[in-house]
Structure 1
Amino acid sequence: MHENSISFLEILNRLCDQNQPFPAKLLKYFSDLSSEQESMLAERWPQLENSRKISLLEDLEDRSERDTLVDFTCTGKVALKDEDEAVREAALRLLWDCEDKGFIHTFVNILRTDASHRVRSVAASLLGRFVLLGETDELGIEDKTRVEEALIESHQVDNDKLVKRRALESLGYSGREEISQLIHDAMSTKDTDWISSGLYAMGRSADTKWADFILQYLQNPAPSIREEAVRAAGELQLNSTSEILLDMLEQEEDDDVKFAIIWALSQIGGEGVREALVKQAEMIDDEEYLDFIEKALDNLDFNEELSHFDLIDIDSLDDTE
């Protein structure tokens, strides 16, 4: 059968033939499913082994990251109802970029009731996107409140630490007054994980009041804390951290922290940043590292251009006064 005329039934037959690898070229047929196709997939889904389901969902996730025109929402929706927690987790990851408010009830219900703490933690992280949409007035106040209340509830009553942390991280976007206290509570612990989550939430707050906290943790002995402090400094574009980050770039041995430093510097900019990034590119012969620095330099260009336009706007306002 010619690929252009292949039916969805044939696609499902190929998927259910678990003795053969599922061809990557057929993944696109799981995009933009009609109601009939979604029902067909739901009917055949229980026939698949869990490993086959997870492999498909992960392949679709990878495809969606490389192709912004595909939409595997309906496939993820079917997989969310699976009995296996690893399949449900993979389904949520496939729906990571979902901004359809029609899913809010589903995601909140998963956060509150799913038996798996791993699934609940992913749901908590995923709901952060809707908190951000609420803060940017792209989500109605009723939906925004529903999401925030569910996350606050999970942070308070869930019996799993990871779920609580992910809820706090998502609440970092929220402008609600009580969120600051939740962040303070996390920072007052001596727990590396909680401090990392507190810093993560600070980076999402768009509030430079956290600058002193972030400065305090930039050179913490724990790599995970350093990484989140660096990320927060970049997200908040804290100019006061630029010199420290440039020094850290020369000395840091942890790869994850070093990547975070490079990206944070591209967000903050300032004197010596471009030269430092170019120097890093000249020193290391690693394709992944070089690609990342190239992206960071592009991001630096973008942010510097944005700052230039902001200055023009300020000058224009001054001229009109």
Structure 2
Amino acid sequence: MNENTKIPSFAQVLSALQNPGQPFPERLLHRLSDLSTRDIRDLKQVWPEVDLKLKQALLKGLTELADEDTLVNFDEFALAILNDPDPSIRVMAIRLLGECDAVHLLPAMTEMMMSDSDETVRAAAAAHLGVFVLRGELENLPDTLRIANFQNLFDVATGHDLPSIRRRALESLGYSSNPKVHKLIQEAFDSKDILWKASALYAMGRSADERWADLVMGMLESPDLEVQYEAVRAAGELELQDSLEKLLELLEEEEEVTDLRLALIWAISQIGGNEAKARLESLVEEARDDEEIDMLDRALENIELSNLGGELDLLEIEPPEMQKKFDSPADKTESNN
């Protein structure tokens, strides 16, 4: 084997982690995928002494790699560092877990939502628990766990924790078909608080329930960018055919490459059809921004696979990671009202 293609040893990874004066080598990132039991044991021995800035940079690099390469799996690494004493690392570890819905993760994530000392960690854990709500809806989770997870999230969403955490719990409950959730979503939507309204739209998008169609479409021209952004996403998630004309119109108006424009492109691809495909293809010819070009490529591939039908479900395009843009440090200082 050529020296340049040799798989790095885990000893090289450990050595790099113990060298705070140097950035973690990019070539070693892949070696943190699919860790063995021995790798995890050795990692846990050195991790407490790793420099915080190096930890943060490493997790940022791993998250970016996971977004680009669907063949890597950093779940074991993230689980190994989930109890790091620094809250920023705990949050980044949760986010690195992505859509991991392994049952053994459920108790730890629930405990973090309920009891972690840091509000950003509690919010991240509440957001992650949505994957288990979805798994329960798909009848792929034991009833005892499904019911307990629902109740824990419901208690948080209706409880007295910070609004940022309660909103994440509501968003996770969006996958649930329980009528109690419909009432919560409606109440949040009716709120005068823009962030609650945006979270309600986020939950609507997850619901696969067209009962929300009129409310979603009514917010596509909201003067509040946070609300409009989530309405666009929800219209795509719900595949609201009646919203396509308005989405195309908004895309025409949103000339700059903004988060809203990227969300519009993806939502249009989720609705699909010949008109959507033709418009996105025309944009490819005009696009100059790398991020927009990448989004257009993924959107057109998404339309193609949708046109091929359900037999290609295993090849479904992963939706792009579009974090809610309305979260800010101000969330931490919100009142409990």
> In 2, are the aligned partners of 1:131 and 1:173 still within 8 Å (CA)?
yes
Q: Which residue, out of 241, 244, 267, partners 2:243?
A: 241
Structure 1: distance between partners of 2:68 and 2:122: 27
> In 2, are the aligned partners of 1:235 and 1:264 still within 8 Å (CA)?
yes
Residue 259 of structure 1 aligns with an amino acid whose one-letter code is L
Deviations 1:240-294 (A, max 9, x none): 1122222222223572222222222211134632332233333443332233222
> In 1, are the aligned partners of 2:95 and 2:124 still within 8 Å (CA)?
yes
Tell me which residue corresponds to 1:178: 180
Q: Which residue, out of 296, 299, 304, partners 1:296?
A: 299
Say if 1:88 and 1:214 are closer, same or farther in 2 by CA, change over 3 A: same
Residue 88 of structure 2 aligns with an amino acid whose one-letter code is A
Q: Summarize the alignment of residues 92-111 of structure 1 with structure 2, pairs less than 5 Å apart.
A: 92-111=94-113
Structure 1: distance between partners of 2:68 and 2:311: 31
Matched position secondary structure for 2:242: helix
Higher RCO (C-alpha under 8 Å, 6+ residues apart) = 2
Say if 1:308 and 1:274 are closer, same or farther in 2 by CA, change over 3 A: farther
Tell me which residue corresponds to 2:208: 206
Deviations 1:276-320 (A, max 9, x none): 2233333443332233222222222222332899xxxxxxxxxxx
Task: Report deviation, 1:38.
Answer: 1.6
Say if 1:104 and 1:218 are closer, same or farther in 2 by CA, change over 3 A: same
Q: Summarize the alignment of residues 122-271 of structure 1 with structure 2, pairs less than 5 Å apart.
A: 122-252=124-254, 255-270=258-273
Tell me which residue corresponds to 1:314: none
> In 2, are the aligned partners of 1:242 and 1:270 still within 8 Å (CA)?
no
> In 2, are the aligned partners of 1:16 and 1:48 still within 8 Å (CA)?
yes
Task: Report deviation, 1:158.
Answer: 4.2
Q: Which residue, out of 81, 92, 101, partners 1:90?
A: 92
Q: Which residue, out of 267, 273, 279, partners 1:276?
A: 279
Gaps of 5+ in 1: 310-321
> In 1, are the aligned partners of 2:8 and 2:28 still within 8 Å (CA)?
no
Structure 2: distance between partners of 1:282 and 1:68: 27
Structure 1: distance between partners of 2:310 and 2:131: 26
Tell me which residue corresponds to 2:309: 306
Say if 1:38 and 1:218 are closer, same or farther in 2 by CA, change over 3 A: same
Say if 1:87 and 1:230 are closer, same or farther in 2 by CA, change over 3 A: same
Task: Report deviation, 1:29.
Answer: 2.7
Say if 1:59 and 1:246 are closer, same or farther in 2 by CA, change over 3 A: closer
Structure 2: distance between partners of 1:177 and 1:306: 31
Q: Which residue, out of 76, 96, 101, partners 1:74?
A: 76
> In 2, are the aligned partners of 1:186 and 1:195 still within 8 Å (CA)?
yes
Residue 298 of structure 2 aligns with an amino acid whose one-letter code is K
Task: Report deviation, 1:88.
Answer: 0.8
Structure 1: distance between partners of 2:64 and 2:6: 23
Structure with the larger helix share: 1
Deviations 1:114-155 (A, max 9, x none): 011111111111111111111112222222222211211111
Structure 1: distance between partners of 2:241 and 2:309: 15
Matched position secondary structure for 2:281: helix
Structure 2: distance between partners of 1:253 and 1:226: 16
> In 2, are the aligned partners of 1:128 and 1:170 still within 8 Å (CA)?
yes
> In 2, are the aligned partners of 1:277 and 1:293 still within 8 Å (CA)?
yes
Residue 10 of structure 2 aligns with an amino acid whose one-letter code is F
Say if 1:287 and 1:36 are closer, same or farther in 2 by CA, change over 3 A: closer
> In 2, are the aligned partners of 1:32 and 1:71 still within 8 Å (CA)?
yes
Structure 2: distance between partners of 1:272 and 1:2: 48
Q: State the identity %.
A: 37
Structure ID, larger Rg: 1
Q: Which moved more, 1:142-151 or 1:58-67?
A: 58-67
Structure 2: distance between partners of 1:124 and 1:264: 25
Q: Which moved more, 1:44-53 or 1:170-179?
A: 44-53
